[in-house]
Amino acid sequence: MISKIQAVAASKCPKCRTGKMFTGPVYGFRRQKMHEYCPHCGFKFEIEPGYFYAAMYVSYAFSVAQVLTLALVTALITKSESPWLYIGVLFAAIVIFAPFNLRYSRLVLLHFLSPKVTFDPRLYGEREEEAKVKG
């Protein structure tokens, strides 16, 4: 059985830790889409209307941490005082991290900040496709 951290890293459903929450990879040519219901246990990810607005706060915290870290690293490496360097680096960072933040803010919200959503070990199991392959 996988831990909560592993489930978040692999973007699995918080209820069964088996079904995938998103359809594609974090970075790809197609826009990432989230399943409405868990493909394994049927859990509805948006537990109430507008639930993922709360993920914006998590995403904001992620962005602040990333931008502060990168600003510090940029200052340490380049020792530059040009504001344009920082604007360029931080703007690029915000764009590059956006898909990551979208996905992991929702995962952190459901796995760690939603007391009503708990892991049910009885629902944990291998994916249907994998079970079929094994016969």
Q: Which residues bind Zn ion (CB under 5 A)?
A: 13, 15-16, 19, 38, 40-41, 43
Q: Which residues pair with 22 in a beta bridge?
A: 34
CB 128 → Zn ion: shortest distance, Å? 12
CB 18 → Zn ion: shortest distance, Å? 6
**22 with 34: CB under 8 angstroms?**
yes
| Residue 77 to residue 50: CA distance in whole angstroms | 42
CB nearer to Zn ion: pick between 38 and 62 = 38
CB nearer to Zn ion: pick between 10 and 75 = 10
CB 106 → Zn ion: shortest distance, Å? 14
| Residue 98 to residue 59: CA distance in whole angstroms | 9
CB nearer to Zn ion: pick between 48 and 81 = 48
CB nearer to Zn ion: pick between 40 and 111 = 40
| Residue 119 to residue 116: CA distance in whole angstroms | 10
CB 107 → Zn ion: shortest distance, Å? 13
| Residue 69 to residue 87: CA distance in whole angstroms | 14
